[in-house]
Every structure is written in structure tokens, then in C-alpha cells.
């Protein structure tokens, strides 16, 4: 940094640039485990599970980008560069809500809760007449009152077992049973219509096939089709977040294997055509 004080360098590693673990090898999965995410995922009494995506890697890249933007903004004021030190485990840790204070202050250890939030109800998956599961999140007092009205059981909102956030959390199983018995009488489509009309947050569990063709995804252009020379038209996620005046756009779906070898090895690294041909012949590239 001393040779180029205006330089911003972003480094992404498993454990950061210093500390006793800095030299350890790390992957996103390791960061998820060390950052506290893996322990709280899954069902109570069973082995921890992964999120289904490489969440640690994705979080690290997002925080690295945010840090880089912050460093560039600061450089515009001071003229000084700096190192953006992004550790995967800290990227995961940053999203772990009040996990640490809960333990330090109250001695409360978060445990895996499956589909529910501990002591928060109703917020669960509920059955429907057509075999689908619908996620309903109505734990706030006013929202629960709307749910009770939609169920044609407005008295539930005044029942001392369910009238407050704390009471509902303490009687979660009982409340979930009552709600589940009602949701099971409706198809998923009818249930969602009733809940949405009543102002109750609810949704089906989306898979890729559900996202493709969904009217809201389409209206907001959350997915965009990009041509690829080998794969043809590729439907993929669009740029996010959206900017009203200077919106971003996906311009290409990525290069084919080795597409830019000549530019990288020749133009940037200065290798001759002969040296490049040798690398091809030795199957180095």
C-alpha cells in the first residue's frame, strides 16, 4: 500500500488477513459452520444441514462489493486507498441477528427450529386440501387478528392463550394445530386468495418452475433472457437492486471456455503467439 497510497485492494478469504486462522484453507461451507449458520439450520435433534445454496460464498461477495464501494467513496474524499478485508465466516456472522447477545446476556443458545421461529407464532408451513404447503407469517398482534377474522374465528385474537405475541409463542403447537385444521379445508390457491385479501402475509413455497412465468417476476423483470453462443437463450436472474435513473442490465451470459485466452495471456501478460501455442499444446489452457 505504501507504493500506491491511492490503491483499493479487495481480498476475500475464509478467515481474513490476520488472526490465528488467517493461513487456514477455507470454503463457503466452512464459513457457514464457523459463522453460526449451520448449527441453527435443520430440524431439532437432527444433524445440521446446509442452506441448499453456497450461501457463505454469496454473502462474502456481497459484503466485499459493499466494502469496495465504501472504500472508493472514502478515497474520493481523502485520496487514500486501503485494503477491504472480507472473511467468509464474518460475512455469515454479520447476518446472525442477535445470536451473540442472546448467549452473552441471557445464556440463551439458539437451536435449529425447522420451519418455525422459536417463540414466534403463527409463522409456519400449513397443509392445504390439494397437498401443497403454504407459509403463513401472522405473528404480529394486528396481523394475527386479521388472520383470525379470515378464519371466521375472530375470538382467537381475544383468547388469552393467543392474544399477545408472548402468549402465542408459548402456545405455538396448539395454535398451529388450529390453523392447520382450517387451512387443510382449502386448496392452496383458495387459501392464498383469502389470506392476501385479508392482508395476511402468505406464500406458496416457490421452486424454479414456479418462478418462471410468475406474473410478479415477469412484471418486475426479475428474470431476463440472455443469448449464449453454446446454450442458446438462457433465462437467469436480472440485476438487483433496481436503480430508477441508471438501471443496470445483464449484457451477456458469460464467455465460453477459453474465449479470452488471447487477450489475457497475450495482451495483458505479454506472451507471444508461440508461447500461447505451446500452452495450448501442453493442455495448460
130 is annotated as an active-site residue: no
Rounded Cα distance, 59 and 36, in Å: 14
Pairing of strands 9-13, 83-87: parallel
Mean pLDDT along residues 90-98: 97
Is it true that 9-106 and 123-204 share their CATH fold? no
User: Is 9-106 a CATH 3.30.565.10 domain?
Assistant: no
Beta pairing class for 123-127 and 9-13: unpaired
Instruction: Identify the H or E element spanning 9.
Output: strand 9-13
Model pTM above 0.85: no
- At 95-144, the pLDDT tens digits run 999 999 999 999 999 999 899 988 899 999 999 999 999 999 999 999 99
Domain ranges of the chain: 9-106, 123-204
User: What percent of the chain has a predicted confidence (pLDDT) above 70?
Assistant: 99
Q: What's the pLDDT band for 4 if we cut at 50, 70, 90?
A: low
CA 62 to chain centre: 10
Catalytic annotation, pick one of 57, 85, 159, 190 = 57
Torsion of CA 102, 109, 125, 219, to 10 degrees: 50
> Residue 230 has what pLDDT?
87
Q: Domain 123-204 sits in which CATH superfamily?
A: formyl-coa transferase, domain 3 (3.30.1540.10)
Least confident interval from 23-37, 63-77, 248-262: 248-262
Given CA atoms 139, 102, 32, 237 in this order, what sign does their dihedral have? positive
264: left (phi over 0), alpha (psi -120 to 50) or beta: alpha
CA distances from 271 to 12, 36, 49, 274, 279 (A): 28, 46, 47, 8, 10
Amino acid at each position: 500500500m505504501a507504493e500506491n497510497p491511492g490503491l483499493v485492494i479487495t481480498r476475500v478469504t475464509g478467515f481474513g488477513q490476520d488472526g490465528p486462522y488467517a493461513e487456514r484453507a477455507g470454503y463457503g461451507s466452512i464459513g457457514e459452520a464457523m459463522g453460526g449458520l449451520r448449527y441453527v439450520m435443520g430440524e431439532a435433534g437432527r444433524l445440521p444441514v446446509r442452506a441448499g445454496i453456497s450461501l457463505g460464498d454469496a454473502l462474502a461477495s456481497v459484503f466485499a462489493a459493499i466494502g469496495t464501494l465504501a472504500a472508493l467513496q472514502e478515497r474520493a474524499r481523502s485520496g487514500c486507498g486501503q485494503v477491504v478485508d472480507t472473511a467468509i465466516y464474518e460475512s455469515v456472522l454479520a447476518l446472525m441477528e442477535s445470536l451473540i447477545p442472546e448467549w452473552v446476556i441471557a445464556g440463551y443458545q439458539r437451536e435449529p427450529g425447522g420451519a418455525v421461529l422459536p417463540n414466534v407464532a403463527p409463522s409456519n408451513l400449513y397443509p392445504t386440501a390439494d397437498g401443497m404447503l403454504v407459509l403463513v407469517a401472522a405473528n404480529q398482534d394486528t396481523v394475527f387478528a386479521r388472520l383470525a377474522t379470515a378464519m371466521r374465528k375472530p375470538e382467537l385474537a381475544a383468547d388469552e392463550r393467543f392474544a399477545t405475541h408472548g402468549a402465542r409463542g408459548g402456545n405455538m403447537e396448539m395454535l398451529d394445530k388450529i390453523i392447520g385444521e382450517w387451512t387443510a379445508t382449502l386448496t392452496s390457491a383458495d387459501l392464498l386468495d383469502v389470506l392476501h385479501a385479508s392482508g395476511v402475509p402468505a406464500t406458496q413455497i416457490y421452486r424454479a418452475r414456479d418462478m418462471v412465468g410468475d406474473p410478479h417476476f415477469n412484471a418486475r423483470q426479475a428474470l431476463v433472457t440472455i443469448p449464449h453462443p453454446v446454450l442458446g437463450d438462457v433465462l437467469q436472474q436480472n440485476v438487483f437492486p433496481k436503480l430508477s435513473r441508471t438501471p443496470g442490465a445483464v449484457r451477456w451470459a458469460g464467455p465460453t471456455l477459453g474465449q479470452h485466452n488471447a487477450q489475457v495471456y497475450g495482451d495483458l501478460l505479454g506472451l507471444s503467439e508461440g508461447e500461447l501455442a505451446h500452452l495450448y499444446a501442453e493442455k495448460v489452457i
